[in-house]
A and B are shown apart, each in its own frame.
Chain A
Amino acid sequence: MPLLEVNNLEVCFGLRQGSVTALRDISFQLERGERLGIVGESGAGKSVLGFSIINLISRPGFINKGEVLFEGKNLAALKNKEMRTIRGNRIAMIFQDPMMTLNPVLTIGDQMVECLRAHRKISKQDARVISLQKLKQVYIPSPDTRLDQYPHELSGGMRQRIVIAIGLLLDPDLIIADEPTTALDVTIQAEIMELMVELCERNNVALILITHDLGVVSEVTQRTIVMYAGRVIEEGPTKEIINDAQHPYTQGLINALPQMALPGQRLNQIRGTMPGLNDLPSGCAFSPRCDYVLPACHEAIPALTKSGGCNVACHLVTEQNNLSEVNE
């Protein structure tokens, strides 16, 4: 049994003008200890997907359809009280901006101890001992003084280490990291990513890394999901996706990396912008921006189909595959 299995997940936001679908028909699996990257541009639904796994989508969002099976248990159908025993305990979450994630008026120690004591019946002293251990694991300098400090006394990189330590407190099976390094400067980014990989490997923790940074994804993850306008458009082993992207959108993303442009040239970009979720074009949502658009692209939404080692949702790729089959 995979650790996490998401089946046909659909997430909607009930707005005054009617409901908007933010995620459509999302399915994927995650094995124990596996590291999965979710990439896409802003508004593609990456973060919503991360939050919907622990059923913590902010109002007015809600899971409309589908299931999130964690060790075989459907989290989407769990009552709040049962869900609380999973959050922070079996599944931990790391947020984007460490400057905003920690409560400014509570000490680091308070924020760690309360998390431990919410899930385990232990004394405050024992909880502090465990907290200290975890702070050591994330290589915080002089960890024992940190417990009594407030977040504002620490730097951004240090705070993200503490957030990671909080995530590790209860030895979770899965960590969902929502752009954990976006708010940090580049040197710290590399350190934090290295730390996360090390900790996940050592403790056999699965990781879902939500990011728009393909470079980070290629270094950290084994498998990647590319999202566009609330759908999965390409999914497969990270190496194959980076080296041999099949969907024109993924190719565009990779071409847009600064290292892909020649010196002195303008950076490559995908023309246009992602459509809003309430006025998606008919057919493939990427078709207005696609250079290889076919008549079929305007008519039907392409289904995710197997192509090589990956699954791709693109009429062009399906057609090419059909052609090569016929030729063979």
Chain B
Amino acid sequence: MFAFLIRRLFQALVVMFVISIISFSIQDNLGDPLREMLGQSVSEEQRQAMRDEMGLNDPFLTQYGRFLGKAVQGDLGTSYFFKEPALDVILKKLPATLELVFGATLIIIVFSVPLGIYSAINPQSIFSKIIMGVSTIGISVPVFLTAIGLIYVFAIELGWMPAFGRGETFQITENLDTALLTADGLHHLILPSFTLASIMLPLFIRLIRSEMMEVLQSEYIKFAWAKGISPWRVYFLHAFKNTMLPVITVGGVQIGTMVAYTILTETVFQWPGMGFLFLEAVNRVDTPLIVAYLIVVGAIFVVTNTLVDLIYGFVNPTVKLTGK
């Protein structure tokens, strides 16, 4: 187990190294950061001087070497726009994004498990067919359209929900705040969470349904019936535990992917998270911030995957986590 975590840590470093090369090499193609910083009125000579000063005229390897040297000390560069360390800027926005992912994950679990199980047990019932039909629509409607639809219905027409923003937040420390601890914050969280969940939820319902239907055909379920134990136990212990194995593997990766989906949701709802920040950084050609964002997201992916493997090893007795 310990060896497994050490190995994962090493893998995480490799992944982030690769991400840093990729994101660093595309930064030249994003546009000129100086135009955003200096505006139109500065002369070409001054621009060149500024470029030299910032090291932007150095060869790629020199620039990357400089970046890597600082990066191993925890310095991912300074944001051109905020004039602050890029990592700090991003980590300040991380709680807001994680709140959103947490809200969406909660919605997905609460809805997909019962709906998936129900439609696997009663595949012929009308309710199951409605679930399947609606989930097809859910998968095919793009996130921003869902967002706009929800805002129109619940914020504008019905007036039940706020249309944008994160609402009141609770300051835990100077740099750390959360919307989860205030009623207003939670109120603001509902629509964005449902929007973010709208793509993954149908996917999970279908995944749980198809896995469960397959498990229900298996010999050990037949044997469980032949033992005369209650249907409740057959469905929710014997079948569900086996259903969860593939769902955890696929689901864990999907939750990681959801961090990426937050870009759209956060933009539509003006939710002040990492994704919203990233889109602003792209518009401002704030390259250090872009690189730092990609590295942080890469780290989140590695962490969620490791957690998924840990949970999987915990649920599936045939798997032992080793360093090999």
Chain A residues with CB under 8 Å of chain B are 54, 56, 58, 84-89, 92-93, 95-97, 100-107, 114-115, 118-119, 150, 152, 163, 166
Which B residues are in CB contact (< 8 Å) with A166? Answer: 227
Q: Let me know if B227 and A101 touch, CB within 8 A.
A: no
Residues of chain B from 219 to 239 with CB closer than 8 A to chain A in the complex: 219-220, 222-230, 233, 237-238
Nearest Cβ distance between residue B244 and chain A, in whole angstroms?
A: 9
Known: A93-B223, A102-B223. A118 touches B228 (CB 8 A): yes
Is residue B316 contacting chain A, with contact meaning CB distance below 8 A? yes
Given the interface pairs A100-B219, A104-B317, A104-B318, the reply to whether A88 lies near B230 with Cβ below 8 Å is no
Question: What are 24 A-B interface contacts by the 8 Å CB criterion?
Answer: A56-B222, A56-B225, A84-B228, A85-B228, A87-B225, A87-B226, A87-B227, A89-B228, A93-B226, A95-B219, A103-B220, A103-B223, A103-B242, A104-B242, A105-B241, A107-B317, A114-B227, A115-B228, A115-B229, A118-B227, A118-B233, A119-B228, A152-B317, A152-B318
Kindly provide the distance from the CB of A82 to the nearest chain B CB, expressed in whole angstroms.
11
Min CB distance, B124 to chain A, in Å? 9
How far in angstroms is the closest Cβ of chain B from A188? Answer: 19
- Flag whether B40 is at the interface (Cβ < 8 A): no
What is the distance, in angstroms, from A118's C-beta to the closest C-beta of chain B?
4
A114–B225 CB distance below 8 A: no
Q: Does B218 contact A (CB under 8 A)?
A: yes
Q: Shortest 4 CB-CB distances between A and B: which pairs?
A: A88-B228, A87-B228, A100-B219, A88-B227
| Residues from chain A with Cβ under 8 Å of B230 in the complex | 84, 118
Most buried by B among A56, A86, A104, A119: A104
CA distance A105 to B221 in the complex (A): 12
The answer for the CA separation of A150 and B228 in the assembled complex, in Å, is 21
Residues of A within 8 A of B229 (CB): 84, 88, 114-115, 118
Judge if B315 is at the interface, Cβ distance under 8 Å: yes
Q: Which residue of A lies closest to B219 (CB)?
A: A100
CA distance in complex: A88, B230 (Å): 12
Q: How far is the CA of A54 from the CA of B224 in the complex (A)?
A: 13
- Which residue of chain B is the closest to A110 with respect to CB atoms? B237
Nearest chain A CB to B221 CB, angstrom units: 8
Quote the shortest CB–CB distance from B313 to chain A (angstroms): 12
Q: Which residues of A contact B237 (CB under 8 A)?
A: 106
Given known A-B contacts A114-B233, A152-B317, A152-B318, A101 and B220 have beta carbons under 8 A apart: yes
- Minimum CB–CB distance for B226 against chain A, Å: 4
Complex alpha-carbon distance, A105 and B222, angstroms:
15
Known: A93-B223, A96-B219, A114-B229. 18 other contacts (CB 8 A): A87-B227, A87-B228, A88-B227, A88-B228, A89-B228, A93-B226, A100-B218, A101-B219, A103-B224, A103-B242, A104-B220, A104-B317, A105-B316, A114-B233, A115-B228, A118-B229, A150-B317, A152-B318
User: Which among A97, A115, A119 has the greatest number of chain B C-beta atoms within 10 A?
Assistant: A115
CB-CB nearest in chain A for B215: A103
- B238 nearest CB neighbor, chain A only: A103
Measured CB to CB, the closest approach of chain B to A178, in angstroms, equals: 10
Residue contact B315 to A105, C-beta cutoff 8 Å: yes
